Amino acid sequence: MSASVVFDVNGARVEAPRSAMRLTDFLRDRLSLTATKVGCESGDCGACTVLLDGEPICACMVPVGRLGGRRVETLEGLHASGEVAALQASFLRAGAAQCGICTPGMLVSAAALLRNEPRPTETQVKDALGGVLCRCTGYRSILAAVMTVDPSDEEGEAPPPAGKAVGHRLARVDGPRKVDGSEAFGADEPPEAALEIRIVRSPYHRAAFELGDLGAFVASHPGVVAAYAAADVPGRNRFGVIPSFADQPVFAEGEVRFRGEAVAMIVGDADAMASLDPSDLPIAWTELPAALSIDDAGTDGAPLIHPGREGNVLIRGLVQRGDLGPAFDGAVVEVEGRFETVFVEHAYIEPEAGSALRVGDRVEVRVTTQSPHMDRVELEAILGLPDGAVRIEPTAVGGGFGSKLDLSVQPYLALAAWKLERPVRLTYTRPESMASTTKRHPARMHARIGATRDGRLVAMDFLGEFDTGAYASWGPTVANRVPVHAGGPYRYDAYRARTVAVHTNGPPAGAFRGFGVPQSTIAQECLFDELADAVGMDRLEFRYKNALVAGQPTVTGQVFEAGVGFRDCLDALRPHWARAREAAVEANAIRGPARRRGFGLAGMWYGCGNTALPNPSTIRVGLRDDGRIILFQGAVDMGQGANTVLAQICADAIGVEVACIDLVGADTDVTPDAGKSSASRQTFVSGNAAFLAGSRLRSRLLVLADASEAAHLELDGPRLITRDRGTTRSLDLRTLFTGDDGMVATSSATYDPPTVALDANGQGEPYAQFGFGAHLAEVQVDLELGLVHLLRVTAAHDVGRAVNPTLIEGQIAGGVAQGIGMALMEEFVPGRNENLHDYLIPTIGDVPEVVCILVESGDPVGPYGAKGIGEHALVPTAPAILNAIRDAVGSGVRRLPATPDRVLAAIAAGAAR
């Protein structure tokens, strides 16, 4: 039998070894067809979908040795043939590609469907795309894109005219690369002959360990070139996103604090590493008792996870205003309750990945990250190198949602490249990614809320205990942000919110879309429904009556004179609320007793940016002598749309068409520090910097052209055309002096939101702007099986000004989908479900119609009045769903997720009352 097989890839004959090599590896590593993505290597995520003889299959599950005589098609082939041009245009128009990591799998699956069904139904699309997971979009835009393909439209919409980009549904400027498969993520395009890295991790939640002879291990394994552990870290063997709390070792020293913690790494050539089992590294383990819950961590005799953090308490947070005692005395009605949430995994489809190269006395790291400048500073400390010795070149980010703010692969890449002076690469496996990276904090919350007989809120007392896992990560941020937000966008006479972040031997809990606010909102908004019922008020009217309005102090004493659009959101939901009520009454009247329909509401607010801390962004922009405007923007776009939104804002500030702008994306050697992509800050903070930089550039161009402020600017190749008070002038940019960078004019601007530090009682001005919103969820509950069927979510958000409505709706729909997962199905259990087969996230069949309503209240400090939206959209979804379940069955679920067993328990508890 021949040692090779011959088959067809995108119309070309290829030869492959008759082996078990995965088709994904063959396509990516041998043919450089990297549009086929790898998300799990177990057939769960569908990112590697290709067509085999016309049928969609997961390439990671197919050995190339079986492909003799078969025909494989990838996105590259479908794109080159033009077959998917209209579908790609439809994706761009609908905003169906956010981060883009799932997009090739979606497009390939859709292409197969469209060959047979040019006008597919929603059911057909769901069936065809059901095997491909998306964590960003919430699927509805993808459904719409496939169902509305227009074969005559391969170009997309016309761009907005000069000065009119803000408010326009501009297709994302980086979209074409996402839909043609050329976008390069962390695992794509590694350097030539890169060595591979494997991390050796703890199989125990807590254990002491002793490493054996690493040198002997390397010598006895041909192809392995090095093994490193803590003693090999030349600088500081510690990292952490908040410098004063940095406590996580690159490699554990003598004791591991969570399952999945790194103790060593092995570096070798690809062939050697393919057959190597990292657990062969000689290590003597001694398992130790572990604290796996807040209760465990707080008991007498519990292991002290970090010396100096007594009681395993990392930090406490507090906001208090007014006097709780008299206020509760004045309450006629009170409710209280305890709520619990669990670890939630980010489950972005792109695992952590990157590559690194030593260049002289510097290290260059290409990596998927949300925070390039923070990464640079941390790596320089780890390597013991001076400022500027590390360069971070972020790749495209295939979803982050907060977890890619923390270091993951970076220290290992940088260390190996530095020591070996050879290029290296590292991609986490899915189980490794899930075991070792940060999670949403599990929370244990108790709240007590009082109101007067006529439904006026008087007091709230909240205590939230957050499991921050083995290391600090963003625990301090959660502990400080939650007390500000735990009361929601409402007025109280007296308020107290206390938090505590507690260490356990769980995975580090970090940032995940909302920094603890989605958890606390569950307690507050679910109790609000009980309180509204107790005072006999409509649940929407109860919220409306107590809603914060402009001119009133928040729980921190901050007063906003404008931009408080919460009541506008509730008003926008009124007709939907009335319709949902009618629909529920009607459905419940005609259905049998086994199924009940319910509807629920939840409100939210969210402060954009860091909590009462400096939070600057810097943006630079210049005009080159060829007439192109270059926007140096270092705000990482992980799918949320920063590239597009900042280009829209900057173009309008200059007064030119967006098409005149070329983007230079984040690179710590090239772009100024625009801060991290987190806390819903990029549209607001970097947007203001882009506006200021654009405005300054416009001023300089007007001086060059000797034109007035009112002049209309136009770029025609290398000519700057000004139309000013009836006079048209043309300036040849090539005749002007340029710097080394070819720029005839540049400008740079920094914006730092105005905040006031919180005092000991949490009083101050923690955020320069808040976004507001409210969600309405409609469900049907099977009373016998406990199954919750979500019928519709209607989401109203005050976004200040919608810079790009399509992108905002994408953020809302994606946030809703993650909120659905949090409410109904997601619970990460270390060691039990570290894969996408056992850890369930919403599929295309789980997300119902999502109606987005954009409320534009304007904002005095937002660019063009815009506010952030990235995290806001997830916050109210889970409590709205829980309230809808309670409305349907008469009793609430207080421990998430609301799985069928918990729904049945709630029904039984309600019946017993």
Residues that bind ligand FES (CB under 6 A): 97-103, 134-137, 349, 399, 639
Question: CA torsion, points 388, 608, 343, 833, in degrees to nearest 10?
Answer: -60
Task: Tell me the C-alpha distance between 321 and 336, whole Å.
Answer: 19
CA dist 677 and 4 (Å) reads: 47
Is 169 strand, coil or helix?
coil
Q: Going by C-beta distance under 8 Å and a sequence separation of 6 or more, which residues neighbour residue 216?
A: none
What's the gap between Cα 506 and its chain centre? 21
CA distance 328 to 452: 10
Name the strands in the sheet holding 443-451, side by side, starting at the edge strand that comes first in the sequence.
313-321, 494-503, 457-469, 443-451, 333-340
SS3 197: strand
Q: Which residues pair with 467 in a beta bridge?
A: 502
CB 388 within 8 A of CB 373: no
DSSP 8-state assignment for residue 360: T
Question: What DSSP assignment string belongs to 698-735?
Answer: HHHHHHHHT--TT-EEEEETTEEEEEETTEEEEEEGGG
Q: What are the residues whose beta carbons fall under 8 Å from the beta carbon of 573, sequence distance 6 or more?
A: 540, 601, 774, 776, 794, 796, 853
Dihedral, CA atoms, 639, 640, 641, 646, nearest 10 degrees?
Answer: -130
* Cα–Cα separations (whole angstroms), residue 783 to 313, 389, 443, 824, 858: 41, 62, 28, 16, 44
Contact 720, 733 (CB under 8 A): yes
DSSP state of 305: S
d(CA 689, CA 125): 42
Asked if residues 738 and 835 have their Cβ atoms less than 8 Å apart, the reply is no
DSSP annotation of 387: T
Q: What is the DSSP annotation of 461-517?
A: EEEEEEEEESS-TTHHHHHHHHHHHTT-SB--SEEEEEEEEEE-SSPPB---SSTTH
Q: First vs last Cα of the chain: how many Å apart? A: 73
Give, as one character, the DSSP assignment of residue 417: H
Nearer to ligand FES, 50 or 101 (CB): 101
Is-contact 500 316, C-beta < 8 A? yes
Q: Give the nearest distance from C-beta 98 to ligand FES in angstroms.
A: 4
